[in-house]
Amino acid sequence: DTEVTQTPKHLVMGMTNKKSLKCEQHMGHRAMYWYKQKAKKPPELMFVYSYEKLSINESVPSRFSPECPNSSLLNLHLHALQPEDSALYLCASSRPYGDSSYEQYFGPGTRLTVT
Amino acid sequence: KNEVEQSPQNLTAQEGEFITINCSYSVGISALHWLQQHPGGGIVSLFMLSSGKKKHGRLIATINIQEKHSSLHITASHPRDSAVYICAVPGYYNTDKLIFGTGTRLQVFP
């Protein structure tokens, strides 16, 4: 199984809503990532979890709250978002990095629209 | 800081043509990724390579570590190859953090 799955595929939410994005992989990867991608731009890293611990937070606003319940699952909790947060949210996984580079496997993304 | 540059930014081709997309980076790396993204879609990893050449179907990726340059070739291009192709390298101080090129938007017409 070389797949990263993400749910939901599409999400429309109001600025006062609370919602969650879910990402799952069963490749035994120990690093999982959240990216945000705006139209016609490359992905921007948001968070990295390594061995279920948050290792990188790219100064993301607190209205985005990541959670890694176990090594296969990664959530992104959303609360009080702004319209400019509308984007494609991508999850990826890989083995943890040491001196070697490991390939990142990306999910299909969740297209989020904030109204 | 590693800078990643891709060329061309946009590419139009007729079906069957041979396509080359280039990627240059400024700091030595352990490996380079080539990624594909169809319009409105997620990202697919095409290759990760650290030396030489890799081939998968009609796609060929090469890398020259000394010259800090990689190329992605598509032979016998097809309209379904129309997508954005992105190269990415691991950050120098933190290899978890990929540095992405700006992407090459390819359109292949029948």
B35 touches chain A (CB under 8 A): yes
Question: To the nearest whole percent, how much of chain A has pLDDT over 70?
Answer: 93
Residue A84 has pLDDT above 60, yes or no: yes
Question: Which residue of chain A comes nearest to B43, CA vs CA?
Answer: A106
For residue B76, is pLDDT > 70?
A: yes
**At residue A52, does pLDDT exceed 80?**
yes
Q: B100 in contact with A at a CB cutoff of 8 Å?
A: yes
- Average pLDDT across chain B, whole number: 92
What is the identity of the amino acid at B26?
S
Show the CA angle centred on residue B61, arms to residues B19 and B45, nearest 5°: 100
* Cα–Cα distance measured from residue B53 to residue B91, given in angstroms and rounded to the nearest whole number: 22
Quote the pLDDT of residue B1. 62
Which residue of A99, A103, A107 is in closest CB contact with B48? A103
